[in-house]
Structure formats: structure tokens, C-alpha cells
Structure 1
């Protein structure tokens, strides 16, 4: 239709729209073309307007802002073609997702419906079944009913990978996907050693893992892995080769043994998760991750938040080694607050495990239940709430820890 050159873009037919003083009663219909506006009016539908200058030009919204504010419901009847359907999202974003609905007609537009003798009842049915726009993040509680029933009926499905340590698996119920586990403890407490041991056990279950061993060069870390796998520190060359044939089938190592930006770690982890289907990731340690920002604690908090987001997005397990604060007495058992950094670091993690080395474990005057090499202290278990302490015994030759009475680590 003809319009004046350089005219202010406004909604066609807006002067015939009936507006009540009660905003909740006001409804507006917006179609794509003027002929469509006339066609819907022929169907006896009121408060129909059409947008000026095509679907891509949205300057009319600013001009009609006060007019549009009067309506609690807005029905968008865009053409059933690429241009019309593409226009819906930007329109909804500008007009307000809470009040917009999309009407799909049986033909390209209202005018074609009129020409093809579509009945009033069919048009009314289209409006009655208009699609609402609800953010993907908002769900009604009832949508989760079946999932909750499944949790009750099959609790074992919500347990994770076996940890390799019976007592630890009993407390945590395994390493669960989408969770972040923080490992802490004083220097030389054995936290990296036991973590690497659990990674090797995960590999024995066929789980693909990726480790960023930032405090050890890859070859040195893998030497430890060979010793723990074979259970001895003097393997033959053939044994080493055979061991690597197994490790190579499931383990990926980041070739970084120095400080690295957190963003680079995420980039490499994402590549590994997408390409290889890696399910368990390790960062050892947080101290070697370079974080952006001048506030160290806030930067660490943001990094942990990014880790939890990554774990959920890719449905993977993440282990993070975070050193403990220096204590006056290394013989005192640490708690969750001993993890170096802001308290939010452990608050945001799903599970917190602290290794404590028993310096007195070799004394002859101790009772049997006090003669152990280390304690693994589970200070947080978000999913099940169970916490506890596990006595561990260390074999220097194999570099392996074991629980009391545990004779064989690998299945």
C-alpha cells in the first residue's frame, strides 16, 4: 500500500484499536502486511494492526512505545515463510516475552486464508492454540516428576564411577558426572599420589581421562603412573611398553608443566571432551593456573564457578588440586577452611577431600587403629551428605595407597 515519503513508521490500523482502562483486558494483534490486517478484520477479529516497512525494520516500536504499553497480550501473526518466522524472535525480545504469542495459520498469511475460504472457526482455532514464549530456563515442577520417580526407583543410576577405594566409594557413592571435586592437603601429604591412583583405576574401568599435571612434566608424571600401574619401581622396558599400550588407550595429557591461563585449560579440555569423549578431567594444581583480575580470591571463585559450569555442560567429572594454607602444626588435622583461598572455593565445589599425613604412624607404642600413614578426610559430599575419615596405608615401592585390608587395587 501507498504511504507518504519519509512518513513516521507506525502500526497500520492502530486508530481502530479499542483500548480499555484495565490493561489486563487489552489485547493487540500484529500481522505482517496491511492486506493481512484487512483479511483478519473480514473474519470479524478486532484490534488487528500491521507492521510498516517489512519485518526487518523495527523503528516503529520506539514510535509506538506508549501505545504498546497498554496491552497485556500481543498476538503475532507473521507470514509462514523464512522472513516472517525469522522476524518473530527479535519482535518478541523487544515487545516482551511474557505477553507475546505466535499464531500459525494454515496458509502463508491471513489474506491467502481468506482467498482459500478458510472458515472463521479454523482461524479462531489457530488463535486458541497460539504458541507462548517461555524461556528455556523456566520449567514447571511437574516436568521433573518422571525424573524424580526414576531417582527413587533406580538410585544406583545416580552413583558415579567406582573410586577404587571401597571406603571412599561407600561414602561418596563414586565420582559423579557434572561434579567438581577439590583435593587439598599440606605439601607431601599424598593428595596428588592418591588422586593419580584413582585416575588409573578409572582407566581400568574404561573411562577416558585427561590430566593437566602443571607441577610435573608429562614424562615424569607418566613415570609415576607406570610405577603405580605395575606396582613396582623397577619395571623392565617390555613392561613399560606394555603399560603404555594400555595407558595410551584412555589417558590424554596436556603438554603444559608451567603456569597456564585458565581460559587455555578450558579450551583444551573442551576439545578433549568433544573429540575423544573424555569423562574425567584433572587439574593439578590451582596454584599453577593463571587467573585474570587483580583480586586473587575473586579470580579463584570465578574459576571454580567456570569449572562447575564446564562439568555440567559436558557432563564430566572434574578433580582440582588446591593446596592448603600453611598450618602452625602439620600434625593437626585440617578442616575445609584450610583450603587456600576464599571459603567460597569449597562452598562451590560438590565434594571436598583433604589428605593428612600421619607423621606419628610408625611409632611402636601406637595401637593398631592408630598405625596408618595418612587420613583421607571427606569434608563435603553435596549429593549424599556423608562425610568421614579413611585410614590409608602407603607402599613406597608401588607408590600406592590402600584402605585397611585392601589387597588388590586394580580389578
Structure 2
């Protein structure tokens, strides 16, 4: 009798559970798409230990091939490099040293606070667009409108910005902003931070944008702003999982990814090993760049560590881009100077350099110039 009673109780509990599941399903069906989105969101909220490579379907699919495992020189096909697909930085010496940024590669950028990381990356976005490449940009620290303001200043240049009563705050006139936005409209895609910073969601949005908008360049600024709680492993395992996924994404989608990782320390002479997180971040990257601001700490550090004397021309610049690693050409420990223009937030090759982007061209492809820009005039 006792066993029968237990059997009845168990059956009753199961029935109640089934009825509750059926009720929830009915409510979700009544809600339609909204309910489905809610259910999907709830499911994602419970998800743990995500393997980003599997989540984004980045792992290589095994294929049966009828070729030798090891190839002799005559069996290896020569692949001619398509230089039209190398993405220039616009920093002349940097492009001369590394040719530009190759598709299928991952670049890691680091630098102390105020060194110019965000400035150089947004400028790289503009340069990419100027050369007919499309860009997707994630900034975990700035809202989309702030990112766009930054880009507009750099695209406008010093002659097209307006000062304010605040020393370091400049704006772009409405008419010029409209022209710049029209130029950028189908080439620049800025992530909407209202969708959150969970890394699996951000990277899923990025991969979708690559397919939908034919993206060539992805900028992710930065590691510390991404929520890695749902990723497999402990702290450093999570970071490795992320960098592996970024490297695989760059190769599988044939794009270039720029990824920002902050340094562990903000003072002194920054070196590659000072980049915060696992060593896999720099080991897996194809390129590693350090952005230095030519302040007292940098000047002291470069003289002490590299034997540079105080009269070295490198110390005359406002910022220095260090190529700490370039796997393609084997470049390392190369220092490239640049001047910083605070009004436009541009990095310049020379003091007073004026670069005109495509938005300034008229319908015939010409760029207007005032008398000060005409080298020969009566």
C-alpha cells in the first residue's frame, strides 16, 4: 500500500510538471516572436563554458584530399601575393616596413592610458575605407555616437573642425558631418553596445556582419571590456580561447582583425611581455604593436633599455608605434614616429600634413583647395 501511495504521488508530481511545461509553452506561443526571443535569451543566460571556436563554427572541417602529407619544392604551388588586398595604415614608414595589414591575420595593439590606441585604430578604420575596404568596429568603452564623433573628426581634418571654449574639445560642422556620414554609410559598421558585451554575442554579431556586409577589417577595442564569464576555463584559459577564436576567424573569413589588449602596468617603458593576460595573446597574434606617447617615462626608458641618446630624432615625435612582432616579414623592434594633431585626433607623417579623404571630392572626383594649398599661382 505504501509503495502504491508513493507510485501515485510520483505520478501526480510528474503530471503537474508536464502541465506546467505545457502552460509555459502555450504562453510563449501566444507571445510569438517576442516569446521566442525571450526563450532564446533565457537559454543564453544559463549557458556556461562556451567554446568560442565551436560556438562560432570556426573549427576546420576535415576533408579527404589526395595529396602527400609532406610536399617537395616542386609539388608546392607558388601563390602570387595580391598587393591590392594588403590594407595600408596611412603611416608611411609603417607601411614601408610591414607593407600593410594582410587579410587572414590578427594584430594585437597595446599601450598605456593616453598613448593613442583608440586614435590609431579609428584612423586605421578610415584608411581602410579610403582604400575600399569595409570595417566593423566594436568599442566597449565608448558609445556608438562617441565613436562616430571621433571618426568624423579624423575624417574632417584640422581645417574642417571648429574649436570650442574647452581646450581639447572640437566639433565638426553639421554640413561636413553629413558628407562624411554619406561617405562612410555602407563601409563603417559600429557595434551597438545596448546588445551587451558578452564575448560570444559580440563575436556572433561580428561574424554575421562579415557575411552580411562583406566586412574586410574588424576592430575590437578592447579585451578588458569583453565579458568572458561564459567562456570555457579559468581566467587565462578564457583569454586563450578568445584569441584562438579571433585568429581562426581572421583566417576562415579572410579578414584582418585589430585587437586591443591593455598592459599590466601604465608606467615605465612598455614591452611586449607587459601586455595583460596570457602569453598566448602575443604568441598567437601575427602582429604585435605597442603605442608609446613620447613622455618622460618613454624617453627615459628607450634611452636606458635601447641605448638611444637624447638627441635621437625619434624623441622629437609626439607618438611612436613600435612593431614588436611581424610574423610575415620577420620584423621586430622597429620604431616609427608620428605627430599627433589634437584638433583632429589624427596621426600625421609630418607636421602640418593635410590628407584629403574621398568625402571631399566633388562629382568629378576633384578636391577643392584654397590659395594656401596651391603650390604654383600668379
Classify the TM-score, shorter chain: 0.5 to 0.7
Question: What secondary structure, in the 3-state scheme, does the structure 2 residue paired with 1:176 have?
Answer: coil
Q: Which runs of 4+ in 1 moved over 6 A?
A: none
Check conservation: 2:339, 2:351, Cα contact below 8 A: no
Which position in structure 2 is the counterpart of 1:184? 110
Aligned to 2:341: 395
Does residue 287 (structure 1) correspond to residue 224 (structure 2)? The answer is yes
Partner of 2:316: 371
Query: Which residue of 105, 120, 127 maps to 1:201?
Result: 127
| Aligned residue pair count | 272
**How big is the shift at 1:325?**
0.9
CA distance in 1, matches of 2:354, 2:193: 33
Cα deviation, residue 186, structure 1? 0.8
In the alignment, is residue 325 of structure 1 matched against residue 300 of structure 2? no
**TM-score under structure 2 length normalisation:** 0.66
Cα 1:393–1:263 change in 2 (3 A) is same
Q: How does 1:116-127 map to 2 (within 5 A)?
A: none
Structure 2 partner of 1:345:
281
State yes or no: 1:358 paired with 2:297.
no
Residue-by-residue CA offset, 1:294-314 (whole Å, 9 max, x unaligned): 511110011000011111111
Alignment of 1:135 with 2:64, yes or no, is yes
Shift of 1:245: 0.6
Q: Write the distance in 2 (CA, Å) between the matches of 1:134 and 1:339.
A: 37
C-alpha separation in 2, matches of 1:257 and 1:283: 16
Instruction: Kindly indicate whether residue 330 of structure 2 is the aligned counterpart of residue 385 of structure 1.
Output: yes
Distance 1:359 1:256 in 2: 33
Deviations 1:348-384, CA, capped at 9 Å, x for gaps: 00000010111149x9xx6471221111111000111
**Once the 2 structures are TM-superposed, how far is the Cα of residue 224 of structure 1 from its aligned partner?**
0.6
Q: Which runs of 5+ in 2 are unaligned?
A: 1-61, 162-169, 300-309, 358-378
In the TM superposition, what are the counterparts of 1:204-223 in structure 2 within 5 Å? 204-223=130-149
State which of 237, 243, 249 in structure 2 corresponds to 1:310: 249
**What are the ranges of 5 or more consecutive residues in structure 1 without an aligned counterpart?**
1-132
* Cα displacement (A) at 1:289: 1.1
Tell me how far apart the structure 2 counterparts of residues 284 and 222 of structure 1 sit (CA, whole Å).
14
Q: Which residue of 1 aligns with 2:200?
A: 263
Per the alignment, in what secondary structure is the counterpart of residue 182 of structure 1? strand
Is the 8 Å Cα contact of residues 216 and 257 (structure 1) preserved in structure 2?
A: no
2:212 aligned with 1:275:
yes
**1:407 aligned partner:** 353
Change (3 A) 1:145 1:335: farther
Distance in 2 of aligned mates of 1:137 and 1:222? 50
From 96, 106, 109, the equivalent of 1:170 is 96
Q: Rg bigger for which structure? A: 1
Alpha-carbon spacing, 1:398–1:295, altered in 2? closer, same or farther (3 Å):
same
Stretch of structure 1 that moved more, 377-386 or 254-263: 254-263
More helix by share: 2
Give distance in 1, aligned partners of 2:129 and 2:84: 20
Cα distance change on mapping 1:168 and 1:409 into 2, 3 Å:
farther
User: Secondary structure, in 3 states, of the residue corresponding to 1:163?
Assistant: coil
Matched residue of 2:79: which SS?
helix
Q: Distance between the aligned counterparts of 2:326 and 2:240, measured in 1?
A: 19
Task: Quote the Cα distance in structure 1 between the aligned partners of 2:107 and 2:75.
Answer: 28
Q: CA 1:239 to 1:158, structure 2 compared with 1: closer, same or farther past 3 Å?
A: closer
Q: Please give the root-mean-square deviation of Cα atoms over the aligned residues, in Å.
A: 2.9
Structure 1 residues 368 and 397: CA distance shift in structure 2, 3 A? farther
